[in-house]
Structures are given as C-alpha cells and as structure tokens.
Amino acid sequence: MTPAEIVTVMLLVAGCFFFLAGTLGLLRFPDLFCRLHALTKADNLGLGLIALGMAVHIASPWAALKILFIWLFTLMASSTSCYLIAKFQRGRAPKPSEASAE
C-alpha cells in the first residue's frame, strides 16, 4: 500500500467511527437537545473525515474540490436544520414558571 492509501484508509475508518458515535448518541441520549448535539457534531466530523479521505484518494484536484464543497454545504445544511428543530422544540416546551405552578 502506498502512503496515500494508508492515509485514506485511516481517514475513512476515523470518519466511520464518528458516524457510529453519532448514531449511538442518537439512540442513548435522553432528550432532543443532547441527541441533536451528538448528531450535528459527530456526523459533521465523520463526513468531513470521509470527504478528506476521498479527496486524498482522488487524482483530480477539481473532483477533490467538489467533494470538499459538498461537505461544506452539508455542514451548513445540518447546522441550520439542527437550529430550526431546536428552536421549534424550545418554543413548545413549558416555561419554568408554568411547570412549577402545577
């Protein structure tokens, strides 16, 4: 194996590890906000590592640039969707003064 292939394999394995960690966080954490945090942080890092591994492996610099742009757009989209889900849920939650009044 060449050094580039070794780096590619290491980045892909690390990316898969972070995807697995994000999935376990989704299944194990108690509330929505912890689950969203696990998914956005771990999955974005996992996708970034996989994209970087594929960019190292691809011979064309333009294709590598496209992969990195896909990762950046996915990063923005997942952060935005996480924010909107959390904001919606925060608006539906009872206020602390309302919960203690019952």
Q: What is the pLDDT of residues 45-98, one digit of tens each?
A: 999 999 999 999 998 999 999 999 999 999 999 989 989 998 898 887 666 565
Q: What is the pLDDT of residues 15-56, one digit of tens each?
A: 999 999 999 988 998 888 888 888 888 989 999 999 999 999
Residue 98 has what pLDDT?
Answer: 55
Residue 100 has what pLDDT?
Answer: 54
Buried b (16+ CB within 10 A) or exposed e, 15-47: beebbebbeebeeeeeeeeebbebbbbbbbbbb
Domain ranges in the chain? Answer: 3-93
Residue 13 has what pLDDT?
Answer: 96
CB 51 within 8 A of CB 70: yes
CB 19 within 8 A of CB 49: no
